[in-house]
Structure 1
Amino acid sequence: MNRNRMNPPSAFPMLVAFSILAPFASLSAEDLTARALTEKEKQRENMEFRAAICAHHLSSGLWVVGRDHQRTPEEVIAQDLAPFTSFGWQPDFQYQVDDIRKVVTVTAPDAPPRSARYTGDQGSTILPRGESDVFFSPVEVPRNLPDPSTVDWPMGDVGASFPVPPGVDSEAVAAALDWAMAQEKQNTRGLVVAYDGKIIGERYAAGWTKDTPQLSWSQGKSITATLIAILIQRGLLELDQPAPIQEWQGDARREIRIRDLLQMSSGLKFANLGFKGEKLTVENEHMRVYFDSLNVFEHAITPPAEVPPGTRNAYRNCDPLSVGKIIRDTVEAQGEDYLTFPQRALFDKIGARSPVLETDPWGNFILSGYDYLSARDWVRFGQLYLQDGVWQGERILPEGWTDFVATPAPSDKKENYGGMFYLNRPPRMAKVPKDTYWSAGFMGQVTMIIPSRKLVVVRMGPSPGNVYPYLNETIGRVLNAIPN
């Protein structure tokens, strides 16, 4: 069955035309025509990319998030697209949902339609213009885990919150989380606090559950770091070796180490223009992986060196995606299946059943930002780091790895970025201990790890503004309710 939705037209195209032409009123008619055509083409490209990212979000909202609870297209648009200017949704966009082929198509005015296809365990992929399918064979990703209702926490859900660890003021924790959920403008959909290995507080917005896979954005960078750590633990790679990327061996990029990539210090020339609807253009190399149908690994490794590695800290998707290519090349060189590797090597180990890691049309994980996990599975991830990379007696991450990711990158003069994790040095949150580090994603997705207080805090949901004052107050209240 096809579900077709068409929204009423608006004056948007007329306003765009006026805003384009007004700055060039003093030009000659010939110059004005040439410049207007160029600007019109840019506007057309921008609208096409807006349609593409909206098709992705609508597809994943229906069939990835919808694995846990059914959603309608109208709900996804109202909750995940229309309120946020970053994604560029406009009232006059039209969309079609093909429930049989699991394809969503969005059309912007005066622009080609763009589609995204849900492929199952690889989530949703934006298709190249004119293409009807991806260029790889999607695979099922078995969760080699029993029913969580039959297994003790943390490998399952039995006893996740009982018994309560000694010294916890449960009423004060509940009050802290109630306060946090009452801050409606933050749009928090999941909030979980684990102390000393037990969940001591948990809240979800209506319609969201402990099992709902939620878009986690750049928290995926911390997963990337964890996957390459597993390969280092296996003895297949070394943190300080030059990045084994063949295309870099003939020029200055051969000096880039895996360490540099993890610390966002590669020195590659790669533009980041920010995540705004009007910035969805080919010039925005950093964000382009989210709205264009690129081979993201080729895109990441193509830029030239701009400054020597290790001398500049710059938040750029080329670095984690280059690490992603190294992961794929290393895994496949061992004869392992790349698409199931994260579940087998990491998520099965820690009892995580919800993860959906999305790919480009060539089957490369876009693990710089297109990753969906439940709040409880992010707690499990945080616990792995809280426990120094050891899980139920098995060392999964190399000894010293948690120290590496929680240490400021030498090139970061602000000292607030480590190895694909953020740091509270100097304190971004005054009420939170300085040893705190966290995986962070766009619009306030965080998994906070606080070793000195044996605490993991997960917050999920698309916050429209700066989430850190809110987190500072929330976590501060929780800290007052647990032993020092």
Structure 2
Amino acid sequence: MKCSIRRSLTTTAVALGLAAVLASCGGGGGGGGGGGGIGIGAPLPPTTAQLPEREALIARARALELNTPYVPPPGNVLEHHTSGYAKTMCSAVFITGIDPDVAAESLGYFVGPYDQRKNVGKPVVDRVKKEVRISIPNGPTLVARHFGSQGCVTLPAGRDDVLFTPVEVKSTLPDPATQPWPMGDVLPGDPPPADVDMAWVNQAVDAAFGVPEAYTSAFVVTHKGRIVAERYMNGIGATTPLESWSMGKSVVATMMGVLIKQGVYKLDQPAPIPEWQGAGDARQQIKISDILQMSSGLRIKAPDDPDFDPNGTYPDHVYYYTGRINAFNYAATRPQQWPPGAVGRYRNTDPVLANYLVRLAVEKRGEEYLSFPQRALFDKIGIRSMVIETDPYGNFLTQGYDFMSARDWARLGNLYLQDGMWNGERILPEGFVNFVSSVAPAWAADKRPIYGGFFWINGMSSLAMPTSAYYMLGAGGQFVLVIPSHDLIVVRIGHSKGERFAASTLNKALALLTAAVPRVR
């Protein structure tokens, strides 16, 4: 059998459990749409009868499709790959503090495909300018520069700076070394709860790190809000900001939840995107809930589309990262492919638009945008390490350019485990946690009970935890699992190079953890 899959089987592969496909293809394929990389090993796949048929997904979508044109992203594919590679290297060195040679070998395959790196020059790390330069033979040199709290940005062609004024984002919280968990990092000195089998918990941690090829960098477990286990790769610590990729989609969902709680937006209202307000524009029918549920219906191409052609044009889904463009404007000017709320597809247009809505709301109130997440959300729940990167225009790219420590991801997970409450204060509106953790109607219509509101759902038992569990998921094997039935939060973060081992090692750990603590609901 000739295999046509060359892309990286990232988020949807995990959720769908495409082990049969991987087996028939002899492993994973390329990253970033057309390049190389390492595919992800799918955990506990559903039976063949459970897997939705690719042809049925395509047929249903085509029956609903509107007659609108598709215009592919402009530019040179190798330049896009190199843009992502340079940004990945810059962030690894100047945010996480990883050795450049290690970063070049093991990180960021999704936007800078591994097998394309041999086609460009060796990254030049300039620690004075805080930038990384990569030259394309007989072509341009791509420059990614560190801009403090906004992380790293690959500069547009012909420019030596970004098109916004960087802002220093500071937490107002006290030194975490002086504050008890969860608002600080001082852990309790008393023994773990008696109903937690710590021998099994410790075995779970061993399982998470048991395969060196998985490149697990951090593993944190909380039970009823308390850290009961954690371990880190050498050189990584409890406060190290780590590449987290599409787990950032759940961050923008949370920011939208904060704004809904503040009365700025409602889930069922039409999304007030300025570019859609012309007379007769059908996109005015797209609701905020459609955007959060990955079912706006806007026309782009993404590697997780069932009809994606890896030999075709560069996918818009990745172009949002690598195009060095105004991502908000690009997303807002995509035409409608399907009626809103009709077809669910994992595409970056929707989280980019959600970030656009955040910026519109914050700036309409006359507030500073780049510090909004820290003051309105992170400071309220003890998060100090988050770095949200932007495009060259200062627009958040939390569809995947985000860095945060494993402990801080555990804090965010616990906000959801506690139904949006924190220390007696309601951070998220009532019903919002239920919204993000319930199967989106458009995905249910395709018989894929795997996606909610910028959170994945374990509806097909792809992971070794109850179907009521839901999770944040990022390329390269990044997970934050919310398991209400056991009052557990599990954070697993690792390097792209170990992606194909991530889910299998995580499943071994999950089986032990769910046995180690009592079921509470």
Pick the TM interval, shorter chain: 0.7 to 0.9
Structure 2: runs of 5 or more not aligned: 1-72
CA RMSD of aligned residues (A): 2.2
The 5-angstrom pairing of residues 54-203 of structure 1 reads 54-66=85-97, 71-80=98-107, 86-87=113-114, 88-90=116-118, 93-159=121-187, 162-203=190-231
Per-residue deviation, 1:83: 11
Preserved contact between residue 190 and residue 458 of structure 1 (Cα < 8 Å): yes
Q: Quick check: 2:81–2:111 contact (8 Å CA) kept in 1?
A: no
Give the secondary-structure state (helix, strand or coil) at the position aligned to 2:480. strand
1:476 equivalenced with 2:476 (yes/no): no
Query: Residues 72, 221 of structure 1: CA spacing in aligned structure 2 closer, same or farther, 3 A cutoff?
Result: same
* 8 Å contact from structure 1 (residues 378, 447) kept in 2: yes
Residue 100 of structure 1 aligns to a residue whose secondary structure is coil
Maintained 8 Å contact 1:282/1:288: no
Change (3 A) 1:282 1:147: farther
Distance 1:424 1:162, change over 3 A: farther
Which of 393, 414, 436 is the equivalent residue of 2:448? 414
**Deviations, residues 296-327 of structure 1 (Å, cap 9, x unaligned):** 10111111111100000011111111111111
Give 1:169 shift: 1.3
Contact 1:49-1:280 within 8 A present in 2 as well: no
1:270 aligned to 2:297? no
| Equivalent residue in structure 2 for 1:306, among 337, 343, 356 | 337
**For the Cα contact (< 8 Å) 1:94–1:108, is it kept in 2?**
no
Deviation at 1:43, TM superposition (A): 13
Moved runs in structure 1, 4+ residues, more than 6 A?
A: 82-85, 278-282
Deviations 1:445-478 (A, max 9, x none): 1100011110000000123226333322211111
The answer to whether residue 419 in structure 2 is matched with residue 388 in structure 1 is yes
What's the counterpart of residue 349 of structure 2?
Answer: 318
- Give the match's secondary structure for 2:149: coil
Aligned counterparts of 1:81 and 1:225: Cα–Cα separation in 2:
23
Whether the aligned pair in 1 keeps the contact of 2:84 and 2:111 (CA below 8 Å) is no
Identical-residue share of aligned pairs (%): 43
Deviation, structure 1 residue 436: 0.3
* Matches of 1:89 and 1:193, distance apart in 2: 35
Report the CA distance between 1:103 and its aligned residue.
1.9
How far the C-alpha of 1:75 sits from its partner, in A, is 2.9
Please tell me whether the aligned partners of residues 161 and 200 of structure 1 are also in contact (alpha carbons under 8 angstroms).
no
Q: Where does residue 358 of structure 2 map in the other structure?
A: 327
Letter aligned with residue 457 of structure 2: L
Q: Where in structure 2 are the equivalents of 1:191-270 lying within 5 Å?
A: 191-250=219-278, 251-270=281-300
Distance 1:245 1:124 in 2: 27
Q: Distance in 1 between matches of 2:190 and 2:383?
A: 20
Question: Which range is displaced more, 284-293 or 458-467?
Answer: 458-467
Question: Are 1:426 and 2:460 counterparts?
Answer: yes
**Higher relative contact order at CA 8 Å, sep ≥6: structure 1 or structure 2?**
2
Shift in alpha-carbon separation, 1:197–1:322, aligned structure 2, 3 A: same
1:184 aligned partner, one-letter code: P
Contact 1:409 1:418 (C-alpha < 8 Å) held by counterparts: yes
Residue 253 to residue 470, structure 1, CA distance change in 2 (3 Å): same
C-alpha contact 1:82 1:90 (8 A) present in aligned 2: no
Which residue of the partner structure matches residue 464 of structure 1?
Answer: 499
Change over 3 Å in CA distance of 1:84–1:78 after alignment to 2: farther
Matched position secondary structure for 1:448: strand
Cα 1:245–1:231 shift into 2, 3 Å: same
Q: C-alpha displacement at 1:101, in angstroms?
A: 2.0
The amino acid across from 1:417 in the alignment is Y
CA distance in 2, matches of 1:327, 1:281: 33
Q: Is the 8 A contact 2:81 2:112 kept in 1?
A: no
- What displacement does 1:165 show? 2.1
Do the aligned partners of 2:292 and 2:453 also contact (CA within 8 Å) in 1?
A: yes
User: TM-score, structure 1 length as denominator?
Assistant: 0.86
CA contact (8 A) 1:46 1:281 kept: no
* Number of matched pairs: 436
Q: Residue 91 of structure 1: CA displacement? A: 6.5
Partner of 1:365: 396
Larger Rg: 1
Equivalent positions of 1:430-449 (< 5 A) are: 431-449=464-482
* TM-score normalised by the chain length of structure 2: 0.80
Distance 2:466 2:143 in 1: 45
CA separation of 1:348 and 1:361: change in aligned 2, threshold 3 A: same
Partner in structure 2 of residue 39 of structure 1: none
2:304 touches 2:346 (CA, 8 Å); kept in 1? no
The one-letter code sitting in structure 2 at the alignment partner of 1:284 is: P
C-alpha distance in 2, partners of 1:237/1:47? 40
